[in-house]
């Protein structure tokens, strides 16, 4: 138990990359160019992500026609080679690729399962920036995952929803599909007139021609691919300004304007402001939220700047500010400061769950201390928050035990130091990636005390820790 935070995993990932590199060395040509890895080596998502390059920007233009369920897309992916590349992979599920160009020159391309393998005419030197353009089309499919529920492109009654964690993006565009490679996005979606096409970030100009309307979105802060979304359908879209930035909310037109869904979304700005008062400045340049009614969507997801809420959260007929708080808290914890590897998912869910306790106290409900006590009594300590296992990615050890660890930290270091730790974390790591190790190191630095044994006991120890 000496290596509880699993530096061993980082070593394993590195080893996997070395092994892949060694295999690739066999293909090395005289110039030293070699194929990029087909996988980033994260054991929670075999096959996801690719090696040898780092994406900076995705420019996507997709057209979707609900009656035929056909999607036509053009993607321009701008990246930097991190190794000398003879060829490289993008993740792409289904869909037919018509043409690929690298820096304007036609490139060879072939499919290998959920991979698109691109061989540029000339090798790409390490450090060189390149743009790969992909033209593709087809009927998008979900990427079913028995353990984790639905993920990917879903054709709904009035349109579609592309959504999912730990992945979904590859079902509608070619992508380096792992949160360790964040990028900015320009997304253009063309749909039949009368339908809305919602996505992440700041809305751009909308234009119509020949029965089709093009909606434009720009996300200028680095975004992990699983945080992208595309929602097409018959929506009541409200666009306004909050704290000087655009706020876009969308509720299915079939739902009443005063129903629990619309009322919940209406407090988005207020809840984001509350969280900013605890966590530091809101990290993005737009706000919002989208409600979907398709019963197959059994969860909400913190898609960047504009979470998507499934129908299950509003069944009681009353607004659900807890789920709004949870998804907005992810904008700091998970989105702005993103995971480097899925085994650290408690860094997302522990803090988002803790935010629900903070909101409840702020809103006049039970105190965070009381929530902590109740949850403490109910916890199964045999399950760890860190490296919970793939099938427990969204389990209570990640969400609730993670929140308990956050509150235990607060009780130990005191409110001032605790909120200073949170604000330092969201400021220093803004727009980047981080690990559990990074958080422990930062908490120790900011507080000036040893916290590893405490966090170790609360996050992974096999028995109930003493109350701080
Ligand atoms: N991160 C989401 C949330 O807690 C949960 C996503 C659950 N995903 C799933 N495939 N079951 O807000
Ligand atoms: Zn969450």
Nearest CA to ligand 1 atom 5: 301
Of 333, 295, 288, which is closest to residue 311 (Cα–Cα)? 295
402 pLDDT band, cuts 50/70/90, is very high
148 pLDDT band, cuts 50/70/90, is low
> How high is the pLDDT of residue 30?
58
User: 163-167, 221-225, 336-340: which has the minimum mean pLDDT?
Assistant: 163-167
Tokens linked to 179: 């949160």
363 pLDDT band, cuts 50/70/90, is very high
Contact 212, 114 (CB under 8 A): no
Mean pLDDT of 242-271: 98
Given the CA of residue 326, which atom of ligand 1 is nearest to it? 12
> How high is the pLDDT of residue 9?
45
C-alpha dihedral sign at 237, 238, 243, 245 = positive
> How high is the pLDDT of residue 2?
36
Give me the interface pTM, i.e. the ipTM: 0.97
Mean pLDDT of 376-388: 97
User: 27-36, 108-117, 198-207, 208-217: which has the minimum mean pLDDT?
Assistant: 27-36
Mean pLDDT of 246-270: 98
Neighbours of 113 (CB within 10 A): 10
Q: Does the pLDDT at position 149 exceed 80?
A: no
Nearest CA to ligand 1 atom 7: 299
Of 176, 232, 206, which is closest to residue 39 (Cα–Cα)? 176
> How high is the pLDDT of residue 286?
98
Residues with CB under 6 A from ligand 1: 148-149, 151, 165, 299-302, 326-327, 349, 394
**Which numbered ligand comes closest to the C-alpha of 165?**
1
Mean pLDDT of 55-73: 98
Q: Does the pLDDT at position 236 exceed 50?
A: yes
Distance 309 CA to ligand 1 centre (A): 10
For the chain, give the mean pLDDT.
Answer: 93
pTM: 0.93
* Model pLDDT for residues 274-297, shown as the tens digit of each residue: 999 999 999 999 999 999 999 989
Mean pLDDT of 83-103: 98
* Model pLDDT for residues 438-453, shown as the tens digit of each residue: 999 999 999 999 999 9
Q: Does the pLDDT at position 221 exceed 90?
A: yes
Contact 418, 408 (CB under 8 A): no
The CA distance from 89 to 50, in Å, is 6
Nearest CA to ligand 1 atom 1: 301
What three-state secondary structure class fits 447? helix
* Model pLDDT for residues 30-63, shown as the tens digit of each residue: 579 999 999 999 999 999 999 999 999 999 999 9
**Which numbered ligand comes closest to the C-alpha of 403?**
2
Rg for the chain, CA atoms, rounded: 22
> How high is the pLDDT of residue 144?
67
Q: Does the pLDDT at position 429 exceed 80?
A: yes
25 or 351: whose pLDDT is higher? 351
> How high is the pLDDT of residue 17?
45
């Amino acid at each position: 138990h000496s290596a509880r935070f699993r530096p061993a995993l980082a070593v394993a990932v590195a080893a996997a990359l070395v092994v892949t590199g060694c295999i690739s060395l066999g293909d090395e040509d005289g110039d030293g160019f070699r194929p990029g890895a087909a996988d980033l080596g994260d054991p929670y998502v075999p096959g996801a992500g690719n090696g040898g390059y780092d994406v900076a920007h995705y420019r996507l233009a997709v057209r979707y026609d609900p009656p035929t369920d056909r999607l036509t897309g053009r993607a321009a992916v701008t990246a930097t080679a991190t190794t000398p590349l003879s060829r490289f992979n993008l993740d792409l599920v289904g869909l037919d690729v018509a043409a690929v160009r690298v820096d304007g020159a036609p490139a060879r391309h072939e499919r290998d399962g959920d991979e698109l393998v691109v061989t540029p005419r000339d090798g790409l030197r390490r450090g060189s920036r390149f743009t790969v353009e992909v033209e593709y089309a087809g009927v998008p499919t979900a990427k079913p995952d028995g353990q984790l529920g639905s993920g990917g492109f879903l054709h709904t009654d009035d349109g579609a929803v592309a959504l999912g964690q730990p992945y979904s993006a590859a079902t509608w565009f070619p992508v380096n599909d792992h949160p360790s490679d964040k990028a900015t996005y320009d997304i253009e979606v063309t749909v039949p007139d009368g339908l809305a096409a919602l996505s992440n970030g700041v809305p751009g100009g909308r234009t119509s021609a020949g029965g089709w309307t093009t909606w434009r979105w720009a996300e200028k802060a680095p975004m992990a691919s699983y945080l992208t979304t595309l929602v097409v359908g018959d929506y009541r879209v409200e666009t306004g300004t909050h704290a000087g930035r655009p706020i876009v909310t969308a509720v299915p037109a079939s739902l009443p304007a005063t129903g629990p869904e619309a009322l919940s979304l209406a407090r988005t700005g207020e809840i984001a402001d509350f969280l900013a008062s605890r966590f530091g400045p809101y990290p993005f340049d737009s706000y919002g939220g989208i409600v979907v009614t398709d019963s197959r969507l059994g969860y909400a997801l913190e898609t960047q700047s504009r979470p998507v809420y499934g129908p299950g959260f509003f069944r009681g007929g009353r607004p659900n500010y807890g789920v709004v708080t949870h998804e907005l808290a992810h904008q700091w914890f998970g989105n702005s400061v993103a995971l480097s590897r899925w085994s650290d998912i408690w860094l997302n869910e522990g803090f988002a769950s803790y935010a629900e306790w903070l909101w409840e106290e702020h809103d006049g409900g039970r105190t965070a201390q009381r929530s902590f006590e109740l949850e403490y009594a109910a916890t199964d300590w045999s399950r760890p928050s860190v490296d919970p296992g793939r099938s427990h990615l969204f389990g209570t050890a990640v969400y609730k035990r993670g929140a308990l660890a956050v509150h235990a930290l607060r009780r130990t270091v005191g409110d001032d130091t605790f909120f200073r730790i949170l604000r330092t974390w969201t400021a220093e790591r803004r727009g980047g990636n981080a690990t559990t190790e990074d958080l422990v190191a930062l908490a120790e630095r900011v507080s000036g005390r040893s916290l590893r044994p405490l966090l170790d006991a609360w996050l992974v120890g096999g028995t109930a820790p003493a109350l701080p």
